Amino acid sequence: LAKDVERSIASAEAWIMIAHIRLITRRLARYGYR
């Protein structure tokens, strides 16, 4: 059970990282980043 919890936390952190990266890239693109 503990392993599953750790895995779910790791995947949640990964999804948060992906969301942040997409948000940052979108913001950079909006400011005309080339």
**In terms of pTM, does the model score above 0.95?**
no
What's 10-26 look like in SS3?
A: HHHHHHHHHHHHHHHHH
Among all chains, which residue has been given the structure tokens 């392993």? 3
Task: Note the pLDDT tens digit of each residue in 1-34.
Answer: 788 888 999 999 999 999 999 999 999 888 876 6
- What Rg, from alpha-carbon coordinates, does the chain have? 15
